[in-house]
Amino acid sequence: MSFDMGKHKTEKGTQRLYALPVDITQWHFDGATEVMFNWEYDDGSPALLDLYDKGKKQQWDSSKRLDWSLELNPDNPMELKDEAISIYGTDHWNKMTETEKSWLRRHLQANSISQFMHGEQGALIATAKIVSTVPDMNAKFYAATQVMDEARHVEAYKRLLHDKFQLAYPINKALKTLLEQTLTDRRWDMTYLGMQVLIEGLALAAFQSIRDKAGNTLAGAVNAYVMQDEARHVSFGRLALRDYYPHLSDAERDEREEFVVEALIFMRDRFNQSEVWERLGLPAKMLDEIHYNSKQMNSFRGRLFSRIVPTVKDIGLWGPRVQKAFAEMGVMDYAKVDVVEQLANDGRVADDFDKKMFVDRAIAVG
């Protein structure tokens, strides 16, 4: 087994932390939009105004809410069990030395957090776009609070990577594709659908794994606090889209259902951490098969669909195309999930982490 354990050095700022060349992944595209002004300042959904009030009250400071004095174990930064690694227990894993296993843990975890950070930058840009494109004034108000949320999330993940991991990865091709599809559509509702429902749903599924399984309090808390905000963001998308989609034509709804189905299949199949696996020196096809069929990825896909399927149903994209696709993927049972309770639980778990952070801080002082 041949490992590429080197790090690409560059001269610019934090690019020196990246495990792969950053210059080949620099990215820009035409994100032209139609800007919507609204001169009726009392116009809009009361439910969105309530969400705006909640968003104002739940702003937090990552420098104060999180205890950055907590250290990470260099051999297993987030203290995740090895069973979470998809090749665990295979001949490939059993042949690895302890040094190689430590390398793999650190790089897999750093790559995950890197994609979270890049995805949050995508959400920052998408939400800024929503502020300018959405017609409802109360939606503009709430989206403005989400812009601040996303900036804080980028800040928190950046600090976790740069100060604690001291390692990062560029954006992967799968996330880049999803973000570009979302950000290049001129229609405001497609930005909502792509970001607030699909990408936020994907993020919640990934965050949940670390929040619930990390043995390191700092790593778990970062994800718990981000999830508390993301729960509101998904609610934002649900409130706006379920009022809007009933007014679309059948052809317009069908186009959006096709987008949902294709995006979900893409997310199910393509988020495989190939950037790390390719450096193992094993055939890519072999790694893809091991990863795709692993119980770890099956568990992730379950979390992914449990987050997205009930929301898709709730916003009214529940025509024959979507139901047929979900039935073929074997995920129709997730339509029964109470999405409101699911999102409320994310808030409660974050509150529990506040208590845990206080206890850990008191122990450290004592």
pLDDT tens digits for range 57-110: 999 999 999 999 999 999 999 999 999 998 899 888 999 999 999 999 999 999
The share of the chain scoring above pLDDT 70, in percent, equals 90
> Do the domain assignments include residue 28?
no
Query: Residue 5: is its pLDDT beyond 60?
Result: no
Spatial distance between the Cα atoms of 271 and 19, rounded to a whole number of angstroms? 18
Where does the pLDDT of residue 248 fall: very low under 50, low under 70, confident under 90, or very high at 90 and above? very high
Query: Residue 170: is its pLDDT beyond 80?
Result: yes
The candidate with the shortest Cα–Cα distance to 326, out of 340, 345, 305, 311, is 305
Torsion sign (Cα): 205, 206, 207, 209: positive
pLDDT of residue 10: 46
Query: Residue 366: is its pLDDT beyond 90?
Result: no
CATH number at residue 95: 1.20.1260.10
> Do the domain assignments include residue 61?
no
> Do the domain assignments include residue 233?
yes
Q: How far is CA 16 from the centre of its chain?
A: 24
Apex 223 CA angle, 217 and 225, nearest 5: 95
For residue 117, the enclosing domain spans 73-365
pLDDT per residue over 297-345, tens digit each? Answer: 888 888 999 999 999 999 999 999 999 999 999 999 999 999 999 999 9
34-48, 235-249, 283-297: which has the highest mean pLDDT? 235-249
Residue type, 89: G
Query: Residue 130: is its pLDDT beyond 90?
Result: yes
pLDDT of residue 2: 55
> Do the domain assignments include residue 10?
no
pLDDT of residue 285: 76
> Do the domain assignments include residue 156?
yes
Spatial distance between the Cα atoms of 101 and 82, rounded to a whole number of angstroms? 9
pLDDT of residue 194: 94
Spatial distance between the Cα atoms of 220 and 211, rounded to a whole number of angstroms? 4
Average pLDDT, the chain: 88
Distances (CA, A) of 361 to 63, 192, 195, 219, 365: 14, 39, 35, 15, 6
Query: Residue 283: is its pLDDT beyond 90?
Result: no
61: CB partners within 8 A, 6+ apart: 152
> Do the domain assignments include residue 19?
no
Query: How many domains is the chain partitioned into structurally?
Result: 1
Mean pLDDT value of segment 125-144? 92
pLDDT of residue 208: 93
Query: Residue 48: is its pLDDT beyond 80?
Result: yes
Apex 223 CA angle, 219 and 227, nearest 5: 170
pLDDT per residue over 192-233, tens digit each? Answer: 999 999 999 999 999 999 999 999 999 999 999 999 999 999
Spatial distance between the Cα atoms of 265 and 259, rounded to a whole number of angstroms? 10
pLDDT of residue 47: 87
pLDDT of residue 35: 78
pLDDT of residue 157: 97
Q: In this predicted structure, which of 14-18, 68-72, 255-259, 299-303 has the lowest mean pLDDT? A: 14-18
Query: Residue 7: is its pLDDT beyond 70?
Result: no
pLDDT of residue 365: 46
Written in H, E and C, the secondary structure of 269-287 is HHCCCHHHHHHHCCCHHHH
The candidate with the shortest Cα–Cα distance to 316, out of 197, 161, 202, 150, is 197
Mean pLDDT value of segment 152-161? 97
Cβ 348 vs Cβ 236: under 8 Å: no
pLDDT of residue 15: 72
20: CB partners within 8 A, 6+ apart: 8, 169, 170, 275
> Do the domain assignments include residue 336?
yes
> Do the domain assignments include residue 248?
yes
Query: Residue 175: is its pLDDT beyond 80?
Result: yes
Spatial distance between the Cα atoms of 246 and 253, rounded to a whole number of angstroms? 9
Q: In this predicted structure, which of 3-17, 89-103, 154-168, 219-233 has the lowest mean pLDDT? A: 3-17
Query: Residue 140: is its pLDDT beyond 60?
Result: yes
